[in-house]
Chains A and B, each alone.
Chain A
């Protein structure tokens, strides 16, 4: 059985549009208004007859926003048990390698541990991911420093790599294989020369990205955990938090941040539990009844964010919870840059040694 195919650009457009018959399809669209430096891509529901855009790098929204909502009802109670509504079958087109890597953290949180989150699992099962190689990068991109490649090798159902007037399509799951089978008229087995062409394009982008990142002198993956632990008492945290306006943007836009808060409300005589994303940069994140707050200082909260990412997840999953997508850097009105925070820790610790 082949698992690498070729599809022409015209046929890809047709294929994705036809998927609208059975799925809600999200594809990125270029946001050209207010564009100053580089074009941003944002997911939207694909409408009939619209053109499918292949985004060169990751969209604005994190992948997690398809699986947990900023605010949503998670259950009613004291009412007869209602079956969970089956989530709509969804195709997400334009997912990138960083998103897939970061999403591993979300899967770990919601699919593993003491209990599985049913709503998350159903959405995951009903979602088909059609990812794509990066063909360019944003100024804030730094996946390579976390040893994540700018093209996915796992975690997708189908992956697209642009080549000439079409795409190499790699099958990554049974779900992906079933799609190819269902729409077999669009796909032809890829030739060796085409696969070699894909490799050359991939290597050339890695080379370009590496040369872009090299002068930035970024902290290496294997050093991050030690830096946040040993840097506990450094003034880095205070210094970088001086410009924080506590908007929580870095948390909400992050592919790996998963914290949420449960709240109760009554609506039409029904009791409901609501789940809303929470942000550890918020002043009340750790506050307990009576007002005591172990993360009272902003610097403590920044440190909490970094130890969660680089200490907690290294210990519990063997992975740092940063995928180098750079979303938090772009979103921050205070210009707090995760690359610079880590570099500052490294610099100050090396002086101490």
Chain B
């Protein structure tokens, strides 16, 4: 009999340190497990607790799943001290993910903040895998400081790809940093996209998502073409436990990706 709460076993094969408080956990599920980019999973520390995360790896890789996690609470702090080769539990995937087919032929304008680049990396891998289907992929990424940038070694490689345009910025620079300094909105001023055929995708901390969304609307993006990755304390992942309600939606089941058009009349979406 199917038990909807039962996680399957996954081996923690590797832990990659991204920043002082962000690590990427490489998992090998023991049973078949696949996801669409933008969907999330519930990751269990056996007998201890679980928390929701969106994988950061290429959904095309059916063997391994990367999950990039910032140390924030009880479960994530324990994960950060976990040794390799232990068994974790994984269940899902949950939610709807990014509607890639709606992005075909378009300029895909991606705006990420901090560890919000994690789910976006999974999206980027999906876009890169079929880059001919898109007109252009633009990434604008902001982090607090150069030390807080995730995937430092990979971003320069992505920049070399055809049809890909990437700019990063940091709120506060340091002695070695020669790039942009300023909030994310400072590098959104003249996006190299054709607004008539552009979609925007935003993922980051709530305050960043708020100001980026306002900026995108200001630039003339259509509310129905702004895709937001929303987050709350999803517990069951199935639209039953009630925690992640946002207006008349559940983030776990109806999202976690929503268009701004869907949410524009919902109160307090950025809280």
Residues of A within 8 A of B (CB): 74-78, 81, 83-84, 109-110, 113-118, 232, 258-266, 271-273, 275, 278, 280, 285-292, 294, 300, 304, 307-308, 311-312, 315-316
Using CB atoms, name the residue of chain A closest to B4. A115
A-chain residues with CB within 8 Å of residue B240 when the two chains form the complex: 109-110, 113, 117, 258, 260
Using CB atoms, name the residue of chain B closest to A304. B245
A312 & B247 in contact (Cβ 8 Å cutoff): yes
- Report the minimal beta-carbon distance from B195 to chain A, rounded to whole angstroms: 32
- Report the minimal beta-carbon distance from A209 to chain B, rounded to whole angstroms: 31
Using CB atoms, name the residue of chain B closest to A311. B248
Q: Indicate whether B51 reaches chain A with its CB closer than 8 angstroms.
A: yes
Using CB atoms, name the residue of chain B closest to A314. B248
Beyond A74-B5, A266-B47, whether A294 also contacts B243 by CB under 8 A is no
Q: Which of B1-21 contact A (CB under 8 A)?
A: 1-9
- Report the minimal beta-carbon distance from B90 to chain A, rounded to whole angstroms: 10
Bound complex: CA A50 to CA B235 (Å): 43
Q: Indicate whether B76 reaches chain A with its CB closer than 8 angstroms.
A: yes
B248 & A315 in contact (Cβ 8 Å cutoff): yes
Bound complex: CA A192 to CA B238 (Å): 49
Bound complex: CA A273 to CA B206 (Å): 30
Residues of B within 8 A of A (CB): 1-9, 44-51, 72-76, 87, 89, 206, 231-233, 235-236, 238-243, 245, 247-248, 253, 267-268, 271
Q: List 25 A-B contacts (CB under 8 A).
A: A74-B5, A77-B46, A78-B9, A84-B1, A113-B238, A113-B239, A114-B238, A114-B239, A260-B240, A260-B241, A261-B241, A263-B49, A264-B47, A264-B48, A264-B50, A271-B46, A273-B5, A273-B6, A288-B232, A289-B51, A289-B74, A294-B271, A300-B268, A308-B245, A311-B247
Using CB atoms, name the residue of chain B closest to A313. B248
Taking a contact as CB atoms closer than 8 A, the residue among A118, A260, A272, A315 that contacts B242 in the complex is A260
B47 & A260 in contact (Cβ 8 Å cutoff): no
Most buried by A among B1, B9, B75, B87: B1
Bound complex: CA A232 to CA B247 (Å): 12
Taking a contact as CB atoms closer than 8 A, the residue among B72, B253, B271 that contacts A289 in the complex is B72
Bound complex: CA A223 to CA B271 (Å): 28
Bound complex: CA A109 to CA B243 (Å): 13
Bound complex: CA A214 to CA B47 (Å): 54
A-chain residues with CB within 8 Å of residue B231 when the two chains form the complex: 288
Using CB atoms, name the residue of chain B closest to A292. B206
Taking a contact as CB atoms closer than 8 A, the residue among B1, B5, B253, B268 that contacts A262 in the complex is B5
B-chain residues with CB within 8 Å of residue A312 when the two chains form the complex: 245, 247-248
B74 & A261 in contact (Cβ 8 Å cutoff): no
Beyond A113-B238, A259-B242, A294-B271, whether A75 also contacts B248 by CB under 8 A is no
Using CB atoms, name the residue of chain B closest to A269. B47
Bound complex: CA A308 to CA B233 (Å): 16
Q: Which 7 A-B pairs give the minimum distances between C-beta atoms?
A: A289-B73, A266-B47, A259-B242, A290-B72, A315-B248, A294-B271, A289-B72
- Report the minimal beta-carbon distance from B122 to chain A, rounded to whole angstroms: 20
B232 & A294 in contact (Cβ 8 Å cutoff): yes
B45 & A75 in contact (Cβ 8 Å cutoff): no
Bound complex: CA A292 to CA B253 (Å): 22
Taking a contact as CB atoms closer than 8 A, the residue among B2, B8, B49, B50 that contacts A118 in the complex is B2
Task: Identify 10 new A-B residue pairs, CB closer than 8 A, beyond the known A117-B240, A259-B241, A259-B243.
Answer: A75-B6, A78-B89, A83-B1, A261-B243, A262-B5, A264-B49, A278-B241, A288-B233, A308-B242, A315-B248
B3 & A265 in contact (Cβ 8 Å cutoff): no
B3 & A118 in contact (Cβ 8 Å cutoff): yes
B-chain residues with CB within 8 Å of residue A113 when the two chains form the complex: 238-240, 253
- Report the minimal beta-carbon distance from B36 to chain A, rounded to whole angstroms: 14
